[in-house]
């Protein structure tokens, strides 16, 4: 183990450099929110010589010689500017300035160039004109940057006429009426104005739904932008989401603006989407769409979104794009482009869509993304997104709503990820005709599981959001799709659930496997299924909940713990470890960091819980004082899954084999040892599944003629093991543990023959010998069927006693009660 954190981080960075690119790793580090992120990238960029705090002044002083791999500099700047905890945009700009001056603009990828321009306009606008044209940015971003640099509300002495032209440019460039300011509202955003040069009088009524809660004067910009639409046949349904009485005067004033306005009142505060569902019950329009109460719509929005629907009767809905601006009408939001799809702009045929898929999901977040995706699943191709170059709205960014605990570029909170993955999984079933797309809008009839109690529309009125969730066990793991999820982890979960324990899972990302292309990860299928069908709950470190025991199967989940104040409280933290886990110490985690993060997040020193006797020896030998549990907690295994696959010995010759992944550590290192364990002799039938690359390299020739190999996964484990009499496993220098493979073999009825060092792991359920004795042991047993049968029974009994769910639950309860 590396005792020095810099050495650990340097080794980690060097290992990851060979398996991922700098941008992907930086995105992953931003996603984890780990306080180690800046040091990881700085040490990687300097070959382990300097951490972030040491490197930053060197870069500020023009010393680039300390950087051995400049590719990492733009990523260092991204993390400094965008991380959730203590972002430092000034340092990020200094890093990018140094990178550009020394290595040229070509060192900066698209994301870094965007960030560089955005940092300049906010921190050093005088330098912006000198470099903007050289950054090769998208036209929409260039326009927003130039508009912000000329904004008279943030830059003293700026030309109002020049800025007004820049403000109007995104609209004028696509043939829309220009946007300007009018009136004397409190903020520039609330003064947005545009007037349609022509009007459309049509018999098709459009119902525009606008929910509001505690509305103030800023709502009038949104209301007037709808009443000023070129499509005149409009009704505006303003749904008050149970605001206090003192807001009645604002609502009355809105209602008095135009005969086309109707104010509806929700009986209780239940969020935007239940307010929309209420409006859908009262809407009279042939078409319906939505408008957020703090946004502004261009007067051509409805007309242009309706055009494709009028032209194509098969089309059910359209959406449009929007610009995003702060109240002072600046567009720069670090790390984000100025434009995006406007989720609230969904405009659809009311009767057809409501009859087909019903109402919005009754949650407080993200249902405006779920609804059109459900419609697409029900009728592929039914939703059309208009050209991104055509902005039909300006959505307002408010500082109070931009929580970095909920989203940053490349990352969104795991509650949102869970919700997204849940509706995508359901939509797959909808497309296959296995589930209905219809939802009646009743919050008691959940369409999808609540990803967080705070998402409940009935919180505060007896709903699930009104009280803190409490669990017996929260299992913290890296639950990404594509990550390793041993069956034993799922078996542990099922054993807890079957025992009646209140169980939840929580996610914490590791770097095994290495980051891939910076993609937003999805939850692994087996966990998603358990969550979606309500079998298990999902929580997270920042969710208000409590647990008697926080349990993790991989200490690395605490290595890169987020730099946040945890709202999940735990009475005890336990780390389940086996010898393989402890060998990762210093490679994927550092014991001291794991302990420190546990104490920081949960105010608990973790207990290290061995899964085998060998793991206990390994943990006890680890450097540094660790709190070691008094009991071992073996993996849960279901013997019935493979029981009786092997009934009796083959009469002709013994069949020996193994189904272990092909890795150098899982095979003997020399030809003599390898062929002693797996004989090159027609008296033995040798069968291998899992890959034979290593034995081919060790032997230097082809496989022996009495060997038969199957590609990994070519057969089910049960089918493969049914061919064997003996499961034989020997490795390189006692370096590895074959995990579940031995347990599967013993459960199936194979007699396992293993090296002596594994006796601590598998006890009296197997036979133990040196490789040179394999022939003798196997031959003798093959000649004695009665003894073979007794060993089969002993192995199955040992698995049931040692790895059965009751044994695991008994040990777990001891941890809970400690």
pLDDT digits (tens, 9 = 90+) for 58-102: 988 887 778 989 999 999 999 999 998 889 999 999 999 999 999
Cα–Cα distance measured from residue 756 to residue 753, given in angstroms and rounded to the nearest whole number? 9
Asked whether 262 and 238 are in contact (CB, 8 A), the reply is yes
Residue 295: is its pLDDT beyond 90? yes
CATH 3.30.70 fits 468-628, yes or no: no
Residue 2: is its pLDDT beyond 80? no
Asked whether 753 and 776 are in contact (CB, 8 A), the reply is no
Asked whether 279 and 207 are in contact (CB, 8 A), the reply is yes
Asked whether 792 and 766 are in contact (CB, 8 A), the reply is no
Pairing between strand 391-396 and 321-325? parallel
Backbone angles phi, psi at 486, to 5 degrees: -55, 145
Asked whether 623 and 595 are in contact (CB, 8 A), the reply is no
In angstroms, how far is CA 567 from the centroid of its own chain?
19
> For 272-365, where are the E strands, in sequence order?
287-290, 296-297, 317-319, 321-325, 339-341, 347-349
pLDDT score at 393 = 98
Question: Could you tell me which of 364, 358, 347, 394 has the C-alpha nearest to residue 147?
Answer: 394
Cα–Cα distance measured from residue 615 to residue 757, given in angstroms and rounded to the nearest whole number? 12
Sign (positive or negative) of CA dihedral 407, 410, 414, 416: positive
Backbone angles phi, psi at 687, to 5 degrees: -130, 130
> For 94-233, where are the E strands, in sequence order?
180-181, 192-193, 206-212
Q: Give the containing element (helix H, strand E) for 607.
A: strand 607-610
Cα–Cα distance measured from residue 409 to residue 28, given in angstroms and rounded to the nearest whole number? 11
Residue 628's SS3 state is strand
Return the CATH number of the domain spanning residue range 640-799.
Answer: 3.40.50.2000
Residue 1: is its pLDDT beyond 60? no
Name the more confident of 449 and 696: 696
pLDDT, tens only, 735-763: 667 777 898 899 888 999 999 988 887 88
Asked whether 5 and 593 are in contact (CB, 8 A), the reply is yes
Backbone angles phi, psi at 624, to 5 degrees: 85, 145
Overall residue count recorded for the chain in this entry? 818
Cα–Cα distance measured from residue 404 to residue 412, given in angstroms and rounded to the nearest whole number? 9
Asked whether 317 and 346 are in contact (CB, 8 A), the reply is yes
Q: What's the chain's average pLDDT?
A: 90
Alpha carbon distances (Å) from 325 to 217, 340, 413:
18, 12, 23
Residue 584's SS3 state is coil
Residue 18's SS3 state is coil
Q: Give the containing element (helix H, strand E) for 481.
A: none
pLDDT score at 684 = 96
Cα–Cα distance measured from residue 323 to residue 304, given in angstroms and rounded to the nearest whole number? 16
Cα–Cα distance measured from residue 786 to residue 47, given in angstroms and rounded to the nearest whole number? 62
pLDDT, tens only, 636-658: 876 665 555 556 676 689 999 99
| Helices of type H across 181-271 | 219-227, 248-255
pLDDT score at 463 = 42
pLDDT, tens only, 450-492: 888 888 898 654 444 456 889 999 999 988 877 655 677 888 9
Cα–Cα distance measured from residue 622 to residue 644, given in angstroms and rounded to the nearest whole number? 40
Q: Which of 138-147, 160-169, 392-401 has the lowest mean pLDDT?
A: 392-401
Q: Where exactly are the structural domains of the chain? A: 5-137, 198-412, 468-628, 640-799
pLDDT score at 511 = 79
Asked whether 97 and 90 are in contact (CB, 8 A), the reply is no
- What is the torsion angle, in degrees rounded to the nearest 10, for the CA atoms of residue 593, residue 490, residue 728 and residue 702? -80
Burial of 31 (0-12, 13-18, 19+ CB in 10 A): buried
pLDDT score at 562 = 87
Backbone angles phi, psi at 440, to 5 degrees: -85, -5
Q: Whole-prediction pTM value?
A: 0.83
pLDDT score at 461 = 46
Asked whether 636 and 490 are in contact (CB, 8 A), the reply is no
Asked whether 164 and 194 are in contact (CB, 8 A), the reply is no
CATH topology of domain 198-412: Spore Coat Polysaccharide Biosynthesis Protein SpsA; Chain A (3.90.550)
Cα–Cα distance measured from residue 448 to residue 789, given in angstroms and rounded to the nearest whole number? 50
Asked whether 798 and 746 are in contact (CB, 8 A), the reply is yes
Name the β-bridge partners of 562: 34
Alpha carbon distances (Å) from 264 to 241, 275, 364:
9, 9, 19
In the chain, % helix, strand, coil (3-state, to 5) comes to: 45, 15, 40
Burial of 158 (0-12, 13-18, 19+ CB in 10 A): middle
Name the more confident of 795 and 20: 795
Cα–Cα distance measured from residue 347 to residue 334, given in angstroms and rounded to the nearest whole number? 30
Residue 33's SS3 state is coil
Q: How many CB atoms lie within 10 A of CB 126?
A: 8
Cα–Cα distance measured from residue 744 to residue 637, given in angstroms and rounded to the nearest whole number? 8
pLDDT score at 19 = 66
pLDDT, tens only, 327-376: 999 999 999 999 999 999 999 999 999 999 999 999 999 999 999 999 99
pLDDT score at 232 = 97
Q: How confident is the model at residue 706 (pLDDT cuts 50, 70, 90)?
A: very high
Domain 198-412 identical in fold to domain 640-799: no
Asked whether 476 and 504 are in contact (CB, 8 A), the reply is no
Question: What's the count of helices (H) and strands (E) in the chain, helices before strands?
Answer: 30, 29
DSSP characters over 648-661:
S--SSS-EEEE---
Looking at the chain, the whole-number percentage of residues with pLDDT higher than 90 is 64
Our CA angle for 291, 394, 358, nearest 5°, is 25
């Amino acid at each position: 183990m590396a005792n020095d954190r810099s050495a650990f981080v340097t080794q980690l960075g060097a290992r990851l450099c060979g398996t991922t690119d700098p941008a992907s790793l930086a995105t992953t580090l931003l996603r984890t929110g780990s306080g180690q992120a800046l040091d990881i990238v700085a040490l990687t960029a300097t070959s382990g010589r300097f951490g972030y705090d040491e490197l930053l002044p060197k870069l500020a002083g023009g010393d680039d010689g300390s950087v051995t791999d400049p590719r990492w500099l733009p990523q260092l700047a991204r993390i400094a500017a965008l991380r959730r905890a203590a972002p430092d945009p000034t340092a990020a700009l200094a890093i990018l300035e140094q990178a550009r001056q020394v290595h040229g603009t070509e060192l900066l990828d698209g994301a870094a160039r965007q960030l560089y321009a955005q940092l300049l306009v906010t921190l050093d606008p005088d330098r912006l004109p000198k470099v903007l044209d050289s950054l090769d940015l998208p036209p929409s971003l260039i326009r927003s940057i130039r508009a912000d640099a000329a904004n008279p509300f943030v830059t003293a002495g700026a030309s109002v006429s020049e800025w007004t032209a820049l403000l109007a440019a995104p609209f004028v460039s696509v043939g829309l009426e220009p946007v300007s300011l009018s009136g004397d509202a409190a903020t520039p955003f609330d003064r947005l104005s545009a007037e349609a040069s022509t009007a459309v009088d049509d018999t098709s009524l459009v119902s525009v739904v606008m929910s509001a809660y505690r509305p103030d004067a800023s709502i009038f910009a949104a209301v007037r932008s709808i009443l000023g639409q070129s499509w005149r046949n409009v009704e505006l349904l303003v749904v008050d989401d149970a605001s206090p009485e003192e807001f009645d005067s604002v609502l009355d004033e809105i209602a008095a603006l135009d005969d086309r306005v109707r104010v509806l009142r929700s009986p209780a505060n239940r969020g935007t989407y239940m307010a929309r569902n209420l409006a859908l019950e009262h809407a009279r329009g042939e078409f319906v769409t939505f408008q957020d109460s703090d946004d502004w719509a261009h007067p051509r929005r409805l007309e242009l979104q309706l055009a494709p629907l009028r032209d194509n009767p098969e089309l059910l809905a359209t959406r449009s794009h929007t610009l995003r601006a702060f109240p002072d009408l600046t567009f720069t939001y670090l790390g984000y482009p100025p434009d995006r799809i406007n989720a609230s702009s969904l405009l659809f045929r009311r009767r057809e869509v409501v009859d087909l898929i019903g109402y919005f999901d009754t949650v407080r977040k993200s249902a405006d993304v779920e609804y059109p995706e459900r419609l697409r699943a029900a009728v592929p191709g039914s939703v059309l997104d208009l050209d991104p170059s055509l902005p039909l709205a300006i959505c307002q960014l408010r500082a109070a709503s931009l929580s970095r605990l909920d989203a940053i570029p490349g990352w969104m909170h795991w509650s949102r990820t869970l919700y997204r993955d849940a509706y995508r999984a359901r939509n797959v079933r909808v497309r296959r005709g296995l589930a209905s797309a219809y939802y009646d809008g009743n919050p008691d009839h959940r369409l999808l599981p609540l990803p967080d109690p705070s998402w409940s529309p009935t919180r505060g009125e007896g709903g699930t959001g009104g009280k803190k969730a409490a669990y017996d066990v929260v299992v913290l793991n890296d639950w990404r799709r594509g990550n390793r999820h041993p069956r034993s982890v799922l078996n542990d979960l099922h054993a807890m659930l079957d025992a009646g324990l209140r169980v939840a899972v929580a996610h914490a990302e590791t770097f095994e496997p290495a980051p891939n292309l910076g993609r937003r990860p999805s939850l692994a299928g087996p966990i998603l299924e358990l969550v979606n069908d309500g079998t298990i709950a999902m929580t997270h470190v920042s969710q208000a909940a409590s647990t008697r025991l926080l349990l993790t199967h991989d200490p690395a989940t605490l290595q890169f713990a987020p730099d946040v104040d945890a709202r999940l409280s735990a009475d005890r933290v336990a780390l389940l470890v086996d010898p393989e886990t402890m060998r990762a110490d210093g490679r994927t985690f550092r014991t001291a960091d794991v302990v420190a993060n546990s104490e920081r997040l949960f105010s608990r020193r973790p207990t290290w819980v061995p899964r085998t006797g060998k793991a206990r020896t390994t943990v006890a030998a680890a450097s540094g004082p660790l709190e070691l549990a008094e009991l071992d907690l073996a993996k849960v295994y279901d013997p019935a899954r493979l029981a009786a696959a092997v009934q009796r010995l083959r009469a002709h010759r013994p069949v020996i084999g193994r189904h272990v992944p092909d890795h150098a550590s899982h095979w003997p290192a020399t030809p003599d040892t390898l062929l002693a364990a797996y004989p090159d002799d027609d008296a033995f039938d040798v069968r291998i599944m899992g890959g034979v690359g290593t034995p081919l390299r060790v032997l230097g020739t082809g496989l022996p003629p009495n060997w038969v190999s199957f590609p990994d996964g070519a057969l089910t484990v049960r089918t493969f093991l049914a061919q064997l009499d003996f499961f034989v496993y020997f490795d390189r220098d006692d370096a590895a543990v074959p995990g579940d493979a031995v347990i599967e073999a013993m459960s199936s009825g194979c007699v396992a023959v293993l090296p002596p060092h594994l006796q601590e792991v598998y006890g009296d359920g197997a036979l133990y010998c040196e490789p040179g004795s394999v022939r003798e042991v196997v031959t003798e047993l093959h000649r004695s069927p009665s003894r073979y049968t007794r060993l089969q029974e002993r192995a199955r009994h040992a698995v049931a006693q040692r790895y059965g769910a009751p044994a695991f639950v008994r040990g777990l309860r001891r941890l809970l009660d400690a």
